């Protein structure tokens, strides 16, 4: 092949040239410390505050509700640990010795699942999990039962768009059910006993730049934003509704008072400027981005037929290929670069927990590949992918056949795929 083709856009994206220019210009002109009172510091501070407004406009929030972070993992951790710290403060002088309870889905990204797992192992919280339907959506209607079983629930976290399947979860419905539960509890005279207002967080890393995200419409308490998934820099932000007043935010690192004390550390002004720029770029072009993804790809089977509720940028090939890593290597040798599950833990030889939660058998989940497209991907690129994939698979299977004396299948894995 004369050029390489990238099909791993859900892992990361190239920085848009207009964003790169803003970052470069800021590197040259905004080098002052934003905390300094002189003109160099003030200039850098103004750049940061302008970017804060731009990120707020992207999700329809107040600028003051945006906190800049190093990325999605830090944003998620701040939100999750803030719930725990809030519980501690509210129950400091009360006799309630029960642990706070967290509810998350069983398909959350490790940046959510692992912090909660750590809190559980440290004996700080208890946790229960919302199940996943066969179509990949989280069973948000199950939240009411979970809340009745766990009256000490303080935090709920469900991702807006799944990073492996592209499924869009009904976060608005989830929040509505939580608020209805709280209202019912108050009508029964329970009030917000034990200080356990229920906070709802969503990781929107795979949603921003692909679907319209409006925090007022979602009525969400916390929302995570990631720059490098949307042609921006490798930093992030956390939205917290009416920060520090209606929604608590506690730092997870400690130092000086940057970001109003919520996220200490000298701000990365150029990257923040880049995140602001990409936010405005998305606002102006989201409709056209959506049109660019609007070619239909259908897979045979029961796990990829709900295209109305899915971000159309990924294709799972659940074929039992055996030497999967050899196939990925062969594709790379032929200029095709794809992902396998979540890029953040793709080196682990375990079945995709997302697919197994959907009811996919372990063998199929273990041999699934993630193919995701971006703004630069054309229909002809997809045609090339299909052709090279088939040739690469035949090559890998031929080697496997020669080494193991097995027969080579004659049918293409894409025999039932229609475009």
- Nearest alpha carbon to residue 146 among 109, 198, 202, 194: 198
Distance CA 332, CA 330 (A): 5
Distance CA 229, CA 37 (A): 34
* 190 tagged catalytic: no
- Nearest alpha carbon to residue 139 among 169, 181, 101, 109: 169
Choose the catalytic residue: 63, 127, 286, 344. 344
Rg (CA), the chain: 23
Q: How many residues does the chain have?
A: 419
Distance CA 161, CA 240 (A): 19
Instruction: Name every residue whose Cβ is closer than 8 Å to that of residue 203 and which is 6 or more positions away in sequence.
Output: 72, 76, 108, 109, 111, 112, 157, 159, 160, 224
User: Which tokens go with 86?
Assistant: 């809030």
Distance CA 391, CA 385 (A): 10
Encode 92-104 in three state secondary structure: CCCCCCCCCEEEE
Pair 408, 395: CB distance under 8 Å: no
Taking the CA atoms of 19, 22, 27 and 32 in sequence, report the sign of the dihedral they define.
negative
Distance CA 31, CA 12 (A): 27
Active site residues: 344
């Amino acid at each position: 092949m004369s050029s390489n083709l990238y099909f791993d856009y859900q892992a990361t994206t190239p920085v848009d040239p207009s964003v790169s220019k803003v970052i470069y210009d800021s590197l040259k002109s905004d080098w002052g410390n934003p905390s300094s009172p002189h003109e160099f510091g003030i200039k850098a501070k103004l750049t940061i505050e302008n970017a804060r407004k731009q990120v707020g406009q992207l999700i329809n929030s107040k600028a003051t509700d945006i906190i800049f972070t190093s990325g999605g993992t830090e944003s998620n951790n701040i939100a999750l640990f803030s719930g725990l710290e809030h519980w501690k403060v509210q129950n400091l002088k009360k006799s309630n010795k029960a642990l706070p309870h967290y509810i998350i889905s069983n398909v959350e990204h490790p940046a959510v699942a692992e912090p909660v797992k750590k809190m559980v192992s440290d004996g700080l919280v208890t946790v229960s999990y919302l199940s996943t339907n066969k179509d990949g959506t989280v069973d948000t209607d199950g939240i009411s039962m979970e809340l009745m079983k766990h009256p000490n629930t303080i935090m709920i976290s469900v991702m807006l768009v799944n990073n492996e399947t592209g499924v869009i979860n009904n976060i608005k419905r989830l929040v509505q059910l939580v608020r209805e539960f709280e209202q019912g509890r108050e009508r029964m005279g329970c009030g917000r006993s034990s200080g356990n207002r229920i906070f709802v967080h969503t990781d929107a890393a795979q949603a921003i730049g692909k679907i319209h995200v409006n925090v007022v419409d979602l009525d969400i308490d916390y929302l995570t934003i990631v720059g490098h998934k949307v042609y921006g820099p490798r930093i992030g932000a956390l939205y917290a509704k009416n920060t520090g007043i209606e929604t608590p935010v506690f730092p997870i690192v400690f130092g000086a008072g940057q970001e109003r004390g919520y996220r200490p550390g000298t701000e990365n002004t150029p990257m923040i400027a880049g995140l602001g720029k990409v936010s405005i770029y998305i606002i102006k072009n989201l409709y056209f981005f959506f049109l660019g993804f609007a070619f239909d790809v259908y897979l045979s089977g029961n796990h990829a037929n709900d295209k109305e509720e899915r971000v159309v940028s990924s294709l799972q090939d659940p074929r039992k290929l055996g030497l999967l890593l050899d196939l990925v290597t062969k594709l790379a040798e032929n200029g095709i670069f794809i992902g396998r599950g979540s890029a953040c833990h793709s080196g682990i030889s375990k079945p995709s927990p997302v697919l197994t939660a959907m009811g996919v058998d372990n063998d199929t989940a273990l041999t699934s590949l993630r193919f995701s497209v971006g703004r630069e991907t054309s229909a002809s690129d997809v045609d090339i992918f299909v052709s090279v994939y088939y040739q690469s698979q035949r090559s890998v299977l031929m080697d496997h056949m020669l080494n193991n004396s097995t027969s080579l299948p004659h049918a293409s894995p894409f025999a039932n795929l229609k475009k």
